[in-house]
Amino acid sequence: MVIDQIHGSLAANACAGLLVLAWLIVAFRTRPGLVGLLVGLAHLTLAGLIVREPLRALIDPPYGPFVLGMISVSGSSAITAAAAIVATAAVGAFSALHRSREAMLLTLASSLLFLGVLGWPWVHALMGGIQVDLQLGDSLVIPVGLASAAGFAVTAAPFLLGAVWAAVRTLRAPPA
């Protein structure tokens, strides 16, 4: 591991930690419901996992392409794409904690975006007949149906829940 990779990882972990800390403070102050916490946590997890990409691309400009679901960007626009994904996920995470109509609209928009970006590859693979096996070591293989269901549950289901929940809350929420 090169020294700039170590510093990039430390900076990314620090950014993710500050993001989690700020989100927890807002969550304790606003006291959202269980679904709001789950939707916010899904967005926060995505932001925390992707936060390293723009930092890494700034440190090492010829760094490889940024790929997330349907998004594949290479070159200098990879920094912008990764930063936009982090910002959108952070906005979705914090807006899921609030009850106003505007916050629910932001949560709805970010959930639909990530549902499309992360969910469409699963739908496309299932419709195309692509078989996805998960291999955990040499002897344990998770069968196709269970592997596909688990992959969808981890990558797209939280954003599907967020989109439905935010749409219902948008209709019922008072304007800010």
Q: What is the pLDDT of residues 62-84, one digit of tens each?
A: 767 777 878 888 777 777 888 88
Closest CA to 161 of 114, 102, 94: 114
Domain boundaries, the chain: 3-172
- Decide: residue 84, CB within 10 A, 0-12 exposed, 13-18 middle, 19+ buried: middle
Q: Over range 123-141, report the average pLDDT.
A: 70
Higher pLDDT, 126 or 77: 77
pLDDT tops 60 at residue 2: no
Sorted by sequence, the CB contacts under 8 Å of residue 43 that are 6+ apart come out as 89, 90, 92, 93, 96, 107, 110, 111, 114, 162
pLDDT tops 60 at residue 160: yes
Sorted by sequence, the CB contacts under 8 Å of residue 96 that are 6+ apart come out as 32, 36, 37, 39, 40, 43, 103, 107, 162, 166
- Rounded distance between C-alpha atoms, residue 1 and residue 15, angstroms: 21
CA atoms within 13 A on the CB side of 166: 29
Element (H, E) at 24: helix 3-30
Residue with tokens 């109509």: 101
Amino acid occupying residue 158 = P
Closest CA to 162 of 27, 78, 41, 50: 41
pTM, 2 dp: 0.81
